Amino acid sequence: MTKFRNEDVWFPTKELSQSCNLTALINRMGLDDYDAFLRETIEHPERYWQETLRHFDITFSPPARAFVDTQNGPMWARFFPGAGFNIAVSCLRPPTGKDGHSQPAILAEDEQGHCESLSYGELSARTRALASGLASIGVEKGDRVGLLFPSTSEAVVTLLAVCYLGAVAVPLYSGFGADAVARRLSDCEAKVLIVAHGFERKGRYVPLEKIAVEAVTQLPSCQLVVAYDSDDQRPVASHHRWQDLANSTVTHEPAATLAEDPCMILYTSGTSGKPKGAIHRHGGFPLRVAQDTAFIFDFKQGERYFWPSDMGWMVGPYSTFASLILKGALVLYSGAPDVPNIGRLRATAIRQGVTHFGTTPTAIRSMAVAEQVVLTGPAPSIRVLMTGGEVMDEDAHAWLFHRFGEGKLPIINYTGGTECSGAILTNVVLRPIYPCRFNSTAPGVDAQVIDEGGHALIGQPGELAIRKPFNGMTAGFWGDPTRYVETYWSSIPDTWVHGDLALQEEDGQFLLLGRSDDVMKISGRRVGPSEIEGIVIDGRIVSDAVSFGVPNSQSGEAMIVFAVPGPEAGQDPEDRIEQYVSDVIRKKMGTSYRPQAVVTLQALIKTRNGKLVRRLARQAWLGQPPGDLSAVEDPTVFDQMAAICAQKRAQALSS
């Protein structure tokens, strides 16, 4: 058994074990316990899905001909073939009960503290009106429609209106420049781009309309719709005004879509090569993320879900579909997470009565360093903590569990990806939750850790893989089916190889070690970069860090660490940080893990969601061009890193 102190482990309470959605589902299926349930979902996923749809109160019309059709191979599996289903209609249906229409569907807050609330009735009316307006300018079933919005109610209304018409939504990161927007919309041959006029971030106005206008000049067949900040703003003659379309009084029926029809294309950040447009279906991504949210996160009708993210990344649409399908409230925040300080997101969660709070390991470390401004007052409504997007380190987990959650709340460590919709590995509330571990594979997903020959591994690192097709997996990359097959299905026959390195321990717990190409092998020993970063960041001498491997003729690979000075690093911190980082890694990891170089920087390059972009740190050190910078918060940080790295490499060569 994994050795941890009992006080570092979350144990399910009797009350939660009896009242959670998972227990009710297990009882309905007539199974004895969670172990039997997990086996059943893998061996007979159609039964799990049958009960899921019943929980959602969703009936396909017409019904599906089968659960899955794999006649074209597992990589092209079609789920619920022939089933009639429109995801927007399901999201807009009010909660059960006589006052369902008046229940909150969206609670939105911006950086200046302005708040907005939409009930299910208001959300439905606005969505249907906008759908009619979009239909009036020619948006039809199958058309691709770009969405460039911060996390606002207008973003949700627009996403649902596009799906309502049977068109295909293409959410875009609100930090993209014009070229990045045009590249993605050109790839999917978008007919319309719908954009917010702009928004405030860190006290600065971000002019999204200006970016959109520049982007559509490269897309002559693409129409532009702008949602303006105020009623007196008027569009350029060739553009449509969102507010005018949203005031349509014409009734437009929802499109008769099938569960297997595409509803959304999610582009990856384009970290290498051309961005990949993952195609998702009405009966795939939205239902899969709601399934996970109901049975893994234990989210119930009337609860409030808050996982801050840009609407252009997976978590934005994930949160939208899941909370609305399950008839809770979606909480949105459209500003920077550190305005006026890093405690902003927790404060927003308290104000909005959030029950389910999501975050990332990088954000946790930032909050832990400034605990005094984060943990101001109780947060009585929060009952579940969720984290994902990166590998969790033990110090971050300890702070989130003991300090943020006061040792009482389950932390659902969750890993999957844009292309697979929901989780591959996760925690569930019916099993103890150990620091940084995953106590289960995702129900319904036949996941294993395997070696290069496809054989299951226990106690050794290997590739995280999925043995069978699963509902929610992408229907391929837009316009590039060969790349999709090569990316996920080419390593092992009929097996999805995800690109993550993981370890299944003897007791059944899983550890995520990082992306396969991020994990370092120093002197023949594997180590995940997040483990090094967790050791180095102490909040005093080092406030932030990133580690990565580079080729080395003697050891095969050498470790480089970039570190940001903390408040106790001193006026001239470089020597002190270099000594501290080398000493603490040697002490905690062993002498063979001594870094080849430690670089002191004032900032690390991250996305707007706070995720480290490790490949850019590596490219800065190696003196390579950065490639696509469209997903990062501040692209100028790369130039700063590259200049300091060039100087550091020159010093190393001359010494």
Place of tokens 């659902």: 412
pLDDT at position 598 over 70: yes
Write down the pLDDT at residue 631: 74
The domains of the chain, with CATH numbers, are 100-246 (3.40.50.980), 521-654 (3.30.300.30)
Number of H helices, E strands in the chain: 21, 29
**Percent above pLDDT 90 for the chain:** 70
Tens digits of residue pLDDT in 612-632:
788 888 889 988 888 778 778
CA dihedral 431, 437, 440, 441 (to 10 degrees): 170
What is the residue-wise DSSP string for 363-375? Answer: HHHHHHHTHHHH-
- 360 or 390, greater pLDDT: 360
pLDDT at position 487 over 70: yes
| Alpha carbons 590 and 417: distance in angstroms, whole number | 33
| Alpha carbons 268 and 285: distance in angstroms, whole number | 15
Asked if the bond preceding 262 is cis, omega within 30° of 0, the reply is no
Highest mean pLDDT of the ranges 78-82, 571-575, 612-616, 641-645: 78-82
For 153, the token pair is: 């109610």
Within 13 A of 4's CA, how many CA atoms are on the CB side? 18
3-class DSSP assignment, residue 655: coil
What is the residue-wise DSSP string for 121-177? Answer: HHHHHHHHHHHHHHHHTT--TT-EEEEE--SSHHHHHHHHHHHHTT-EEEEE-TT--
Write down the pLDDT at residue 270: 45
| Alpha carbons 416 and 438: distance in angstroms, whole number | 12
Write down the pLDDT at residue 97: 86
Q: What is the DSSP letter of 10?
A: B
The whole-chain average pLDDT of the chain stands at 91
Within 13 A of 205's CA, how many CA atoms are on the CB side? 7
Q: For residue 523, which phi and psi values (nearest 5 degrees)?
A: 50, 40
Q: Are the C-beta atoms of 363 and 334 separated by less than 8 Å? A: no
3-class DSSP assignment, residue 469: coil
Compute the average pLDDT of residues 637-647.
Answer: 91
Q: What is the pTM of this model?
A: 0.84
| Alpha carbons 209 and 226: distance in angstroms, whole number | 7
Strands (E), 208-286: 223-227, 240-241, 262-267, 277-281
Categorise residue 83: left if φ over 0, alpha if ψ from -120 to 50, beta otherwise: beta
| Alpha carbons 277 and 337: distance in angstroms, whole number | 28
pLDDT at position 1 over 70: no
CA angle 193, 197, 203 (to 5 degrees): 135
Write down the pLDDT at residue 233: 77
Tens digits of residue pLDDT in 464-480:
999 999 999 999 999 99
Looking at 156-165, 172-181, 197-206, 607-616, which range is the least confident one?
A: 607-616
Looking at 236-250, 297-311, 342-356, 626-640, which range is the least confident one?
A: 626-640
- 249 or 79, greater pLDDT: 79
Write down the pLDDT at residue 271: 41
Which 3-state string (H, E, C) describes 589-626? Answer: HCHHHCCCEEEECCCCCEECCCCECHHHHHHHHHCCCC
Tens digits of residue pLDDT in 336-359:
999 999 999 999 999 999 999 999
- 483 or 513, greater pLDDT: 483
Q: In 3-state terms, the chain is what percent helix, strand and coil (to 5)?
A: 35, 25, 45
Q: How far is CA 374 from CA 13, 19, 425, 602, in A?
A: 27, 31, 29, 22
Q: Residues 6 or more apart from 44 whose CB is under 8 A from it? A: none
| Alpha carbons 67 and 81: distance in angstroms, whole number | 7
Of 46, 20, 47, nearest in space to 31 by CA: 47
Q: Are the C-beta atoms of 412 and 383 separated by less than 8 Å? A: no
Looking at 36-45, 368-377, 584-593, which range is the least confident one?
A: 584-593
Count CB atoms within 10 A of the CB of residue 340.
Answer: 12
pLDDT at position 653 over 70: no
Q: Are the C-beta atoms of 270 and 628 separated by less than 8 Å? A: yes
Asked if the bond preceding 62 is cis, omega within 30° of 0, the reply is yes
For 29, the token pair is: 């299926």
Write down the pLDDT at residue 655: 53
- Report the interhelical angle of 315-325 vs 285-295 (nearest 10°): 70
Compute the average pLDDT of residues 133-144.
Answer: 97
| Alpha carbons 650 and 165: distance in angstroms, whole number | 59
Compute the average pLDDT of residues 252-260.
Answer: 97
> 648 pLDDT band (50/70/90 cuts)?
confident
Compute the average pLDDT of residues 81-91.
Answer: 98
Tens digits of residue pLDDT in 379-438:
999 999 999 988 888 889 999 999 999 999 999 999 998 899 999 999 999 999 999 999
